[in-house]
Amino acid sequence: MELATLLAALEQEPKHIYSSDALNMHSSITALAYDSRKVVEGGLFIAVPGTHTDGQRFLGEAVRRGATAALGDALQGQSAPLPYIEVADVRIALANLACAFYEYPAAHLCTIGVTGTDGKTTTSNLISHLLEATGHRTGLMTTANFKLGGQEWENTTRQSTLEALEVQQMLRQCCDAGVTHAVIEATSHGLELQRVRGCNFDIGVVTNITHEHLDFHKTLAAYRRAKARLFEMLDPQRDKGIGSRPTAILNHDDSSYEILKPYCSVPILDYGIDTPASVRAVDLQLSANSTSFRVIFPDAECHVETPLVGRFNVSNCLAAIATAYSQGVPPADIAQGLATVTGVAGRMESIDEGQSFSVVVDYAHTPDSLTKVLGTLRPVTQGKLLIVFGSAGERDIQKRPIMGRIAAEMTDFFVITDEDPRDEDREQILREIASGAEVQGKREGKDFLCIADRRKAIEIALKRAKAGDTVLLAGKGHEQSIIIGREKLPWDDRRVAREVLRESL
C-alpha cells in the first residue's frame, strides 16, 4: 500500500516529518511493525512507547532491517536515522494504519466486543459456540484461545487483547475465511490503549466490573471509565448491510448496569438472575456436574441444561444467550447449543490422574472470581477445600490482602505462592497476601504456608490432600508461562499437577 494512502487514514495529520526530502510518499509499504525485530524490507516501523522501553530506542534496528520510514511520538533528544513521521498519539495512529493496511475488515463483519472483570473468556467462547451452532461462521480472540475458519488454538501471547495491528490482521483473515461474526475479548487495557479502535463494534457485552487493574488505571472510577469506552463505540446509525443489530448487553445484577447505561446510545438488552431483566434465569438447579435453569425472554422462554457448573456460569450463559437472542437466534436453538457446550481451557478444568481427591485448575485471579469459584467448589466438596494461589507482581497491589482474607474465610488450608512476580520481591508479595489472612486470625505454618516456588507449593498441597478433598490451583489457568524478573519461563499448572499426581500414585 502506498505510504500516502496509509497516512491519509490518520485521524490527525502528522505534526512533523523529519528528513522529509528523503521520504517518498509514493513508496510502497510492504508491512507494518511495532516490534523492530519484525520489520521487513520496505516496511513502516511504528515506535510505540511501552512500560519498560520505548520504540524510539530501536530506530537503528528498524533501519538495518530495511524500514522505509518510522512513525511515532515526538523524538526524545535524538535525530532519526531514517525518515520519521511525528504524530500526536501513536497508539491511535497505529490503529488507524492497521485498519487501512488491512482494508477495514470490521466493515464486513458483525463484531462483538466482550468486556468485564471476570468471565470474559468463557462468555466469548459461549457466544461463538451459540452462533456456530446455528450455522454462522465465527472468529474468536480471547485470553485463552483463538478461533478462525473452524480451527482453534491456544493464546500463548500473554495478552488478553492483542495490539491493534494483530487485531486488524486477524479480522482480515476472518473476512478472507468467510467468517460472519468476530468475537473479541476487549479488556480495559485494550480499550484504554486503543487496541480495539476501528473494530466498529455492533454489539457490546459486559459480564461484571469489580476490583482489578488499579495498578494501571489507578482508581476504580478510571477502570470503569475504560470499560465504558466499549459502549461509547456502539453507533446506532451503523449499518454494515449484513443484518447486524447494534445492541448493548448489560448485566442488571451487577453495579456496572447503572454505570454503563448512560454511555449506551443503542438499544439495551439486559440480563440477570436476581433482578427483573429482559433475559432472566429462574429455577436454577446447580450440581457438581451440570446446571439447569429456565430462561425467560421478552416473547418466549426455554429450558437450559448445560455441563457448565456454578452460579457464575449461569450469568456467563445469560450474557451469551442475550447476545445470540439480540441477533435473532431462536431460544430453542440457544438451548440446544448450551447443551453441547464444552468448558474453556483452564476454567474450572478438572485434573484426573486416578487420585482420590479432586484437583481443579482455574484462572481466578481477582477477589470476585476467587470468591465465586470457591463458593462453587465448597458445596460439592465432601472433605476439605484447599487452594494454591498468588498475585501478580507489578499489578494491582490493593487486591493482595483481600485475596488472603478470602482464602482464610472460604478454605480449610491454603498455600500462597508465585503467580507472575516479575521484578517485584517475590517474598514481599506473599507477605502482603498473607496479611489479609492473618487479620482473620489465620497463622502461617498451621493454617497456611508461603512458598514462592509454585511447583513446590503445588506438590505440598497435593500431598496434603486426602480422599474427598478438593484442591484448587488458581490464578494461572490456561497460561503457558510464568514471568520471574524479565524472564518468561515455561509453565502450565495442568501439566505440573498431572506430573505431581503421577509421581505420587
CA-to-CA distance for 379 and 317, rounded, in angstroms? Answer: 21
160 carries a ligand binding annotation: yes
CA-to-CA distance for 53 and 51, rounded, in angstroms? Answer: 6
Question: 268 in helix, strand or coil?
Answer: strand
247 carries a ligand binding annotation: no
CA-to-CA distance for 371 and 417, rounded, in angstroms? Answer: 18
Q: Let me know: does 366 contact 210? Beta carbons within 8 Å.
A: yes
120 carries a ligand binding annotation: yes
Q: Let me know: does 289 contact 313? Beta carbons within 8 Å.
A: no
Q: Let me know: does 434 contact 389? Beta carbons within 8 Å.
A: no
**Alpha helical stretches, state H, 276-398:** 311-326, 331-339, 367-377
What region, left, alpha or beta, does residue 167 occupy, with left being phi > 0 and alpha being psi -120 to 50 degrees?
A: alpha
333 carries a ligand binding annotation: no
The grid cell for 443 is 497463622
Residue with cell 438447579: 285
Question: 205 in helix, strand or coil?
Answer: strand
CA-to-CA distance for 36 and 47, rounded, in angstroms? Answer: 8
Q: Tell me whether strands 385-389 and 413-416 are parallel, antiparallel or unpaired.
A: parallel
138 carries a ligand binding annotation: no
121 carries a ligand binding annotation: yes
Residue with cell 488454538: 153
76 carries a ligand binding annotation: no
168 carries a ligand binding annotation: no
Give how far Cα 172 sits from Cα of 109, 136, 167, 307, Å: 10, 17, 9, 34
DSSP state of 263: G
Q: Which of 387, 438, 381 is nearest to 414 (CA)?
A: 387
488 carries a ligand binding annotation: no
What is the CB neighbour count within 10 angstroms for residue 188?
Answer: 26
- Crossing angle (nearest 10°) for helices 331-339 and 311-326: 140
116 carries a ligand binding annotation: yes
Q: Let me know: does 284 contact 293? Beta carbons within 8 Å.
A: yes
454 carries a ligand binding annotation: no
Give 260's contacts (C-beta < 8 A, 6+ positions apart).
Answer: 206, 227, 228, 231, 248, 250
156 carries a ligand binding annotation: no
Q: Which of 297, 253, 252 is nearest to 279 (CA)?
A: 297
Give 2's contacts (C-beta < 8 A, 6+ positions apart).
Answer: 25, 26, 27, 28, 29
354 carries a ligand binding annotation: no
Give how far Cα 237 sits from Cα of 229, 387, 470, 475, Å: 17, 49, 51, 41
Q: Which of 100, 76, 91 is nearest to 3 (CA)?
A: 100
Binding residues for ATP: 116-122
Binding residues: 36, 116-122, 159-161, 187, 195
